Chain A
Amino acid sequence: MTYDQLCNLYAQSITLKILRARSAPMMLSFFHQTFKEKNHTTIPNVELVTRLSDYLVATGYRATDDEIDATGLLDNEDERARKYVEQWSNKGFLRKYPDDDGNDIHELSSDMEKVMHWVSTLQKREFVGTESRFKDIFSKLKELVDQSNKDPKQRIQELERKKFEIEQEIKSITITGKVQVFDDTQIKERCYDVNRMSRELLSDFKEVEQNFEQITQEIYRKQSERDIAKGALLAYTLDSFEALRQKDQGKSFYSFWQFLMDETKQEEMRELIEKLYNLLEERNIDYKNDRFLKKLKQFLHASGKKVIDANKKLSDKLSRVLSEKNLTDHRKAMELINDIRQLAFQTLDNVPGEEFYIDIESDPEIDMLDRWEMADDKKTHPDVEFPEGIGGNDFSDADMDALFNHFNIDRALLEDRISTQLQNKKQISLKELVDIYGTEKGLTELITYFSIASQSSSHIILETPDPVSLGNRVINMPMVLFTNSQN
């Protein structure tokens, strides 16, 4: 702990940053209330914001810290709560990630867990139980020495001694009819210890999980380095994989998990905890209605599962990394994307228009009626529609001739007209063309305009209706825009 080291720690450590935050008392009390008291591991973002907003109102907390934007002083509590939660997530006080449905959820970061635990030790405890903990240390010491002694003779000697002690105890109970039991204080003290240790265990899970994730990240970062040799990456990957299983943390975690998953052990633990609560009730020992231990198994399982998941993610990634094809593909893709990015920037002033397109092969085209869902927003096709009042119902021959009886359409003439109009304009619509030149050849002429538009990529057919007059009729048709590809 040199001066330099501590300077560095104060600048870097998130734990210390939490402690120094001006909003710390508000933040810690809020987290204690929302996460700890209710034993929640994760809380959806929306819920957390609402709760904080309520909390800010209830406590009348004024945002005098500089953690959220000062301009937000006029904001309402909801807005302020949202900003706080965002800040805390950004600073690593809270973790934020999407669940499987894409909804953001929060949990306390391992640094936050550490701070909350440490702060809780500062509080004056009801009593400081030393007896149970000393006995705990004593029995651990014994266990440590006994279980690591490889000499069979000494081991047998030790077991014999234990056997003798047990026999003595049985004898004294049968003679006196009395069993030595813990008094209330001893029970209370042990209960307190069990509770404390269980909570610590839960917080520790978070750190295990984070360590697993860190290794994953490191592998991925290494993988994306351009010049790393494949062999080196492979070696590194295998090493980390091995390290994960062989490192004390990994080993310990896996044997714990095995223990937790063992059905008989689960049953045994459930019974033990049940008995403990009964005992507390019987002896009238106040446990402040803390049901934490009752749900311990559930909490352990939930938190352990997260570690297992983190680890599964890791092995998934490893298998990806190990595939050489993926590796080279990935680098190639990154190069190409970079090139495309450069080109796209070069063309900022001259963004490609309609002539640029890429075909993508997507889903099979099966459009049977029974596959339509009510909610599907079916595309309306640019059909020619005849709404009421437009088009008329006059089907007499003479009138129809005006529409159809024109077979010799001079396509070149129409194209000429378009380019003439486009000489001093960027675009012209079909309606404008008809306004200028009329429609000598009726519907066929309109259709020819259509066909010109559809055959060149510089012309656009929009779905917006743009009625065109044809003789004394108005025809409702899609908007056609002829554009000048040079402009």
Chain B
Amino acid sequence: MADNNISPFAHVFLKLMQGPVYEEDKAYWKDLLGWQTELSKYLNQVGLQLIINESDGFARILQPEADDTSGEKPLPRLMRKTRLTYEATLLCIVLREALDEFDIKGNGTRLFMTQKEIKERLALFFKERNNKSKLLKDLNKPINSLLNIGILKATREDAANKELHQYEVKRVIKALVNNEKLEEIKSKLKLHVNPVQQ
């Protein structure tokens, strides 16, 4: 069943369709950099963009928002949009900040955090209820939603103590929660804090 028509960058393309490709995926990363021009061209034909962030070590596909003024029929959405709750949004902020802090300290290139560490940072944003353990349990939800969209990745399970579950904070968070997104979050939150002004 060998098909000679398969292009040499097919494996990278398919990998990209499954989610971001990281520098750690050495085999893919090297080929991705090598075939980037061809891949870009190929993706452009169907209205997608290849974004490579070499300094942070990841690449992903981006589907630009449909341009209403062009008069052409907008293309169907391929990229999944995920709705984040307030809690999950705050978790994004917390993780984004942690990653930046980690980079300044400069030990290693990948940030790992335990469930306990994540929750400790996040819990600051909620009034300590009488039932602290309920609060901590509730914070599982945002962690799960970020696991679903690949910002967090479980790297170690600790059956005896769930608090020691360890996650990696993926660098793609810098693209998913970029400055534009941060602006959006800020203005939305501002509106919530002070609805009268607007």
Contact = CB atoms under 8 A, between A and B. Distances in A.
The finding on whether chains A and B are genuine partners in a shared complex, rather than unrelated, reads yes
Interface of A: 97-98, 100-103, 213, 216-217, 220-221, 223-224, 313, 316-317, 319-320, 323, 326, 329-330, 332-334, 336-337, 339-341, 343-354, 356-366, 371
A349 B129 CA distance: 11
Nearest to B87: A351
A85 B189 CA distance: 43
Interface stretch (B2-10, B33-41, B178-186): B178-186
A340 B193 CA distance: 11
B94 to A, nearest CB: 9
B11 to A, nearest CB: 15
A278 B182 CA distance: 68
Contacts of B189: 340, 343-344, 347, 352, 356
B179 A332 contact: yes
Interface in B24-59: 24, 55-56
B192 A347 contact: yes
B86 A361 contact: no
A333 B86 contact: no
B166 A102 contact: yes
A334 B186 contact: no
Contact of A365 (B24, B79, B184): B79
B186 A343 contact: yes
Nearest to A222: B104
Contact of B110 (A100, A220, A317, A364): A100
A128 to B, nearest CB: 42
B5 to A, nearest CB: 21
A356 B166 contact: no
B137 interface: no
A358 B84 contact: yes
Contact of B106 (A317, A334, A349, A371): A317
A102 B112 contact: yes
Contacts of B140: none
B100 A358 contact: no
Contact of A362 (B89, B150, B166, B183): B150
A337 B96 contact: yes
B192 A356 contact: yes
Interface string B138-151: 00000000000110
Contacts of B86: 351-353, 356-357
Given A220-B104, A313-B106, A361-B176, 10 more contacts: A333-B96, A340-B93, A340-B189, A349-B127, A356-B86, A356-B192, A358-B185, A360-B81, A360-B176, A365-B77
A361 B55 contact: no
Chain B interface bracket (under 10, 10 to 19, 20 to 34, 35 or more): 35 or more
Nearest to B77: A365
A316 B79 contact: no
A320 B55 contact: yes
Given A360-B149, A362-B150, A352 B192 contact: yes
A256 B103 CA distance: 30
Majority SS of interface residues in chain B?
mixed
Given A356-B85, A361-B79, A362-B80, A344 B125 contact: yes
A102 B24 contact: no
Contact of B90 (A326, A344, A353): A344
B108 interface: yes
A365 B81 CA distance: 9
Given A97-B108, A360-B84, A362-B149, A340 B186 contact: yes
Nearest to A96: B107
A217 B90 CA distance: 28
Contacts of A359: 81-84
Contacts of A313: 106, 108-109
Contacts of B126: 348, 351
B182 A336 contact: yes
B148 to A, nearest CB: 8
Contacts of A100: 24, 110
A97 B63 CA distance: 37
B109 A316 contact: yes
B49 to A, nearest CB: 12
A21 to B, nearest CB: 24
Contacts of B89: 356-358
A343 B92 CA distance: 15
B149 A363 contact: yes
A356 B188 contact: yes
A361 B78 contact: no
B116 interface: no
B108 A334 contact: no
B185 A98 contact: no
Interface string B94-130: 0011001001111111101000000000000111000
Ranked nearest first, the 6 interchain pairs of A and B with the lowest CB-CB distance are A102-B155, A336-B182, A362-B149, A365-B80, A356-B86, A363-B19
B190 interface: yes
Contacts of A363: 18-20, 79-80, 149-150
Nearest to A313: B109
Contacts of B55: 316, 319-320, 323, 326
Contacts of B107: 97, 213
A337 B62 CA distance: 24
A364 B13 CA distance: 12
Nearest to A329: B179
A103 B17 contact: no
Contacts of A360: 81-84, 92, 149, 176-177, 181
A332 B78 CA distance: 30
Contact of A357 (B83, B96, B176): B83
